[in-house]
C-alpha cells in the first residue's frame, strides 16, 4: 500500500536548491524516513511562478484588510501568486495526494504563524503562506502539516495516521462504490476514531446510520469531512487506554484470569506512561488471533496504519 501513497511537499524540504538564497532546507525525517514510504510530489511555488534562484526575499505585509506578498525590492506578487496557486492546487487533482508537508515560516508555503509585517512595521506571527492558503481552500480535508511540527512524536503519529486513512478513503471512493462499502469502511475504523474523539465517533455513527437516505455526493463529502476532522484531534494515552479497555470486553469468557490480569496491568502501565502502547496492543493482537475475534481483527486500530 505504502508505494501508492502520494504526498505533496515543499521542494526545499527534499534538499532541492530552490530557496531565495540558492540553498535548501532539507528535512531528514521528510526526505529519508517519510520519503522511503511515499511518493513525493514536490512543488516550489516561488520557482514555478518564475521568480528564479537566487531572488530577493518575500514578505507578507498587512495593508488594510488585506495581506500582501511583497518582494524586498518593493514589487507586489500577491495577485500573481494567488492566481498561480489556485491553478496549481487545482492540478493536484491528477496526483491523488493523500497528504502534504509544507515548509514552515515561508510567505508562500507556511501553514501557521507566518510573520506578517503590520502597518506599524512590527511583525506578528499571524499569517499563512499564499500557496498554503490556496491549498487548504481547495483541499480542506487533505492532511497537511509543517515539517517543524513533525518533529513532535504525537503530531507526527497523528499526521501519518490521517494520511493512511485519507489514502484508504481515496481507494474507497474511486470508481463505483456502494453504501455498504462505506458502512464496512466505517466499521473497520470505529476504534481508531474512538481513540481521537468520542463525540466524533458518535457523530460518524449517526451519519453512517442515515447513509442510505443520503445523496451519494453528500455522503462522500460528509463522511470524508467527519472522519478527517475527528482524526485531527490528538489521541491521548487516556483515550487510547479507554479503547484498549473497550477491546478487553471482547475477550470475556475467552481468555483466562491470568491473561486478563496481564492485559489489565499492561493497559494501566501504558496509561501511566510506564510502557509504550505497542505492549498492550501486541498482547491484544495475540489474543485476537488465538480467540478469532472477527470484529477486532478487522479494526485498523488493531491491524495498524501500514507505516
Ligand atoms: S518554502 Fe516553498 S517557496 Fe520557499 S523555497 Fe521552499 S518550496 Fe520554495
pLDDT of residue 103: 98
Order the strands of the 58-63 sheet from edge to edge: 66-71, 58-63, 114-117, 123-127
For ligand 1, mutation pick of 13, 16, 19 (most atoms within 8 Å of CB): 19
Kindly report whether the global pTM for this prediction surpasses the value 0.85.
yes
Whether residue 123 is predicted with pLDDT greater than 80 in this model: the reply is yes
**Could you tell me if 138 and 257 lie in one domain?**
no
pLDDT of residue 305: 74
**Could you tell me if 162 and 247 lie in one domain?**
no
**Could you tell me if 7 and 87 lie in one domain?**
yes
Ligand 1: centre distance to CA 9 (Å): 9
Q: Which domain holds residue 41?
A: 2-52+77-113+127-151
**Could you tell me if 183 and 139 lie in one domain?**
no
**Could you tell me if 143 and 25 lie in one domain?**
yes
Cα separations (Å) of 296 from 6, 168, 249, 285, 288? 29, 18, 11, 9, 7
**Could you tell me if 23 and 89 lie in one domain?**
yes
pLDDT, tens digit, 9 for 90 and up, residues 229-259: 999 999 999 999 999 999 999 999 999 999 9
Task: Report the candidate in 22, 25, 31, 21 with the shortest Cα–Cα distance to residue 12.
Answer: 25
Contact 242, 280 (CB under 8 A): no
CATH value at residue 103:
3.40.50
Q: Is the bond preceding residue 54 a cis peptide, omega within 30 degrees?
A: yes
**Could you tell me if 41 and 157 lie in one domain?**
no
Regarding the beta carbon of 10 and ligand 1, being less than 6 Å apart is answered yes
Give the nearest ligand 1 atom to 43 CA.
7
pLDDT, tens digit, 9 for 90 and up, residues 41-100: 999 999 999 999 999 999 999 999 999 999 999 999 999 999 999 999 999 999 999 999
Regarding the beta carbon of 46 and ligand 1, being less than 6 Å apart is answered yes
**Could you tell me if 250 and 200 lie in one domain?**
no
Structural domains in the chain (count) = 3
Residue 63 lies inside a defined structural domain of this protein: no
Amino acid at each position: 500500500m505504502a508505494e501508492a501513497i502520494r504526498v505533496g511537499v515543499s521542494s526545499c524540504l527534499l534538499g532541492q536548491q530552490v530557496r531565495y538564497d540558492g540553498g535548501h532546507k532539507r528535512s531528514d525525517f521528510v526526505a529519508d524516513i517519510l520519503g522511503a514510504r511515499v511518493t513525493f510530489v514536490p512543488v516550489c511555488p516561488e520557482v514555478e511562478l518564475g521568480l528564479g534562484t537566487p531572488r530577493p526575499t518575500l514578505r507578507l505585509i498587512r495593508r488594510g484588510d488585506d495581506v500582501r506578498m511583497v518582494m524586498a525590492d518593493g514589487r507586489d506578487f500577491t495577485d500573481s501568486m494567488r492566481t498561480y496557486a489556485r491553478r496549481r492546487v487545482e492540478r493536484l487533482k491528477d496526483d491523488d495526494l493523500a497528504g502534504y508537508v509544507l515548509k514552515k515560516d515561508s510567505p508562500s508555503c507556511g501553514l501557521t504563524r507566518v510573520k506578517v509585517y503590520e502597518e506599524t512595521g512590527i511583525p506578528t506571527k499571524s499569517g499563512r503562506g499564499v500557496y498554503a492558503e490556496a491549498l487548504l481552500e481547495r483541499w480542506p480535508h487533505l492532511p497537511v502539516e509543517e515539517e517543524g511540527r513533525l518533529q513532535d512524536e504525537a503530531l507526527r503519529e497523528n499526521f501519518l495516521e490521517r494520511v493512511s486513512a485519507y489514502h484508504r478513503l481515496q481507494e474507497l471512493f474511486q470508481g463505483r462504490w456502494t453504501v455498504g462499502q462505506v458502512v464496512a469502511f466505517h466499521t473497520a475504523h470505529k476504534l481508531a476514531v474512538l481513540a481521537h474523539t468520542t463525540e466524533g465517533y458518535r457523530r460518524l455513527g449517526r451519519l453512517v446510520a442515515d447513509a442510505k437516505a443520503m445523496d451519494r455526493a453528500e455522503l462522500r463529502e460528509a463522511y470524508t469531512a467527519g472522519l478527517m476532522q475527528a482524526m485531527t484531534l490528538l489521541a491521548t494515552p487516556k483515550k487510547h487506554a479507554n479503547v484498549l479497555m473497550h477491546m478487553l470486553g471482547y475477550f470475556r469468557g475467552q481468555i483466562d484470569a491470568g491473561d486478563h490480569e496481564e492485559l489489565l496491568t499492561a493497559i494501566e502501565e501504558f496509561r501511566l506512561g510506564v510502557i509504550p502502547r505497542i505492549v498492550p496492543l501486541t498482547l491484544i493482537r495475540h489474543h485476537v488471533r488465538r480467540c478469532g475475534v472477527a470484529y477486532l481483527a478487522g479494526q485498523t486500530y488493531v491491524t495498524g496504519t501500514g507505516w
